[in-house]
Each structure stands twice: as structure tokens, then as C-alpha cells.
Amino acid sequence: LLYGFLKGWNSEKCAQFGWASGAFVVTLLDDFGLPADEEMIWSIWEGNARVKR
């Protein structure tokens, strides 16, 4: 969420990005996520099951 607010996004877009980031993190063995870029997180939000890592 904080990333989105710092980028100046509206609250709905921030929530979507936060949700997709959380979905990404639960697929990892570590307790944190370091996505390659925003595009990867947005592809998760769009329902793309083939996320490039």
C-alpha cells in the first residue's frame, strides 16, 4: 500500500497492488518478496498464472 501512495495512485489502485503483492509473497519460501518490477505484480492482479521470476 505504501508504495502505491508514494507513487500518487488512488486508494483503489493501492489496494489492488497491495493484494497482488501479498499473493506473490505467499508463493515464496522467504517471508518477504522482491518482485523484479511492477509489471510482475500487475500481471498477478490481472490473473496471469504464468508469472515470470
- Tens digit of pLDDT for each residue in 23-47? 888 888 877 777 778 888 888 888 8
State residue 50's pLDDT score: 66
Rounded to two decimals, what is the model's pTM?
A: 0.73
| Domain-located, residue 50 | no
| Domain-located, residue 53 | no
Residue 17, Cβ density class (10 Å: 0-12 exposed, 13-18 middle, ≥19 buried): buried
The answer to whether 14 and 1 have CB atoms below 8 angstroms apart is yes
| Domain-located, residue 16 | yes
State residue 23's pLDDT score: 87
Domain of 12, in residue numbers: 2-45
Rg (C-alpha) for the chain, rounded Å, is: 11
The structural domain count of the chain equals 1
State residue 49's pLDDT score: 63
